[in-house]
Structure 1
Amino acid sequence: MNNYIYTFCQLILLSLTLTANAQKLHTTKWESGQLDRRTKVGVWEYYGYTASKERVVVQRYDHSTNELLYFRPSGEFIYNIEATPGQWQRHAVDRPPLFIGGDPALAVYTTQLQYPLQAQERNIQGQVTVGFAVDTLGRTSGHRVLRSIGGGCDQEALRVARTIPNEWIPARVGSHAVAAEYELTLTFRLAQP
């Protein structure tokens, strides 16, 4: 009987050792947390930088429970929210729709813009704003151009916005998640010779 208990305890210790070894601390300029076989687990911190270049935590997110633990508020949040099905209105929200990881994580997708040849040839530069709804489950839909510059840039901005995965945290009013419209501005600027 004692041999069985001893063997059982050894198996538990081996299992704990393997689990601990499988998780690795991952830290960059923008994020820090545990990876388990390339999957984010546990609580991660996401960073931003102030104008004085001080690193600050902008989000703390638990990837094991899919729960936002903290976000750094900045100003008042007024968004178009879906007050009743199909009826949208401007409203203050307690928490805006957030992309998990903040702006640096979102930049992984928005920096994949490919400058349209037509826009380059016609020297078209500027900003395209794409709007889309983030529903109460953090999924996006209804992508459309709100501010246009033409030359193929609008289509490219839409393409990029649609590649962003559904890793959104919905807006909240009080304790309730609400569908809200998010506006994403993408800049097209030609390199100076």
Structure 2
Amino acid sequence: MKKPALLLIFISLLSLHASAQTKQITNNDYALGIKERFYVLKSNKDFREGQYLAYNQTGNTIFCQGYYKNNQKDSLWTYYSFDAKVAAKGYYKENKKVGVWDAYNFKEELQVRYDYSTKQLILYKPNKNNSEDRQFNVINDKDTLNVQMDHSAVYLDGDGLMMKPAVFRSVKYPAAARERHIQGVVLIAVTIDTEGKITNYRIKNSVGFGCDEEALRAVKQITGDWIPGVYQGKSVISEYDIPFSFTLAND
């Protein structure tokens, strides 16, 4: 009967030791509209250790929660959508994603399941706006083909691409467009290479009056992992379209 009591005492001592070594930091990023709360060593303010939280400026919507160990992402990390639904979750070890990660759509339905340890796509369910019946641009050495692919490039946060609150809330309506009541959708095509890396951005549909530049600035902030598109059984370089809607509330 003494062992459980001794274990509890040991855990309590560890917690006290950890709290004695760390201090809480709150960081406001007004440009992205987020607030971060995390812990750092008292002896080194740049060395993170312990729980991490990111949420909106008012503190009523959480965007992300996880844990740092030895200044690296570790253990379970969970990312949330605008309405606090789970967008993606999985484990980190030494700052790298490991094992199976799941990503969800706006209805919190499983959309992507990927095993980082084996580098295998276990499950992919395209949403209705990204149907596999659609055609995508495939880029080769000679030209660009617009074809129906085996599957398009897959963003491993699933619909989480559209759930990056920090990125999409950072989009500002350009004054020139607002003054002229300009509205529309800017379409940015990103090029995904055979390693799943973004190598290029281009404006596919223009609105003008500063909207194109603002959308391009925002899309370059989107981070995350991609699986390259597959065409005729092979990984290919392809484009993936990301829309940014500029709409005036009273128009």
State the TM-score, normalizing by the size of structure 2: 0.58
Q: 1:58 aligns with which of 111, 125, 128?
A: 111
Equivalences for residues 1-193 of structure 1 within 5 A: 23-24=75-76, 26=78, 28=80, 29-36=86-93, 40-49=97-106, 53=107, 55-73=108-126, 74-82=131-139, 84-108=140-164, 109-165=167-223, 167-192=225-250
Query: Distance between the aligned counterparts of 2:208 and 2:142, measured in 1?
Result: 29
CA contact (8 A) 2:132 2:152 kept: no
SS at match of 1:44: strand
Bigger mean CA offset, 137-146 vs 24-33: 24-33
Query: Which amino acid is the alignment partner of residue 163 of structure 2?
Result: A
SS at match of 1:119: helix
| Alpha-carbon distance change, 166 to 36 in structure 1, aligned in 2, over 3 angstroms | closer
Query: Which amino acid is the alignment partner of residue 172 of structure 2?
Result: Q
Query: Which amino acid is the alignment partner of residue 182 of structure 1?
Result: Y
In structure 1, stretches of 5+ residues that fail to align are 1-17
Query: Which amino acid is the alignment partner of residue 115 of structure 2?
Result: D
| Alpha-carbon shift at residue 43 of structure 1 (Å) | 0.5
Query: Distance between the aligned counterparts of 2:79 and 2:159, measured in 1?
Result: 17
SS at match of 2:181: coil
| Alpha-carbon shift at residue 126 of structure 1 (Å) | 1.3
Please identify which structure carries the higher helix content: 1
| Alpha-carbon shift at residue 163 of structure 1 (Å) | 2.2
| Alpha-carbon shift at residue 81 of structure 1 (Å) | 0.5
- How many residue pairs get matched? 168
| Alpha-carbon shift at residue 66 of structure 1 (Å) | 4.1
| Alpha-carbon shift at residue 64 of structure 1 (Å) | 3.5
| Alpha-carbon distance change, 86 to 110 in structure 1, aligned in 2, over 3 angstroms | farther
* Higher RCO (CA 8 Å, separation ≥ 6 residues): 1
CA contact (8 A) 1:59 1:72 kept: yes
Query: Which amino acid is the alignment partner of residue 155 of structure 1?
Result: E
CA contact (8 A) 1:24 1:36 kept: no
CA contact (8 A) 2:196 2:227 kept: yes
Bigger mean CA offset, 109-118 vs 174-183: 109-118
Query: Which amino acid is the alignment partner of residue 92 of structure 1?
Result: Q
**RMSD of aligned alpha carbons:** 2.6
State percent identity of aligned pairs.
31
Query: Distance between the aligned counterparts of 2:179 and 2:231, measured in 1?
Result: 46
| Alpha-carbon shift at residue 68 of structure 1 (Å) | 2.4
CA contact (8 A) 1:23 1:37 kept: no
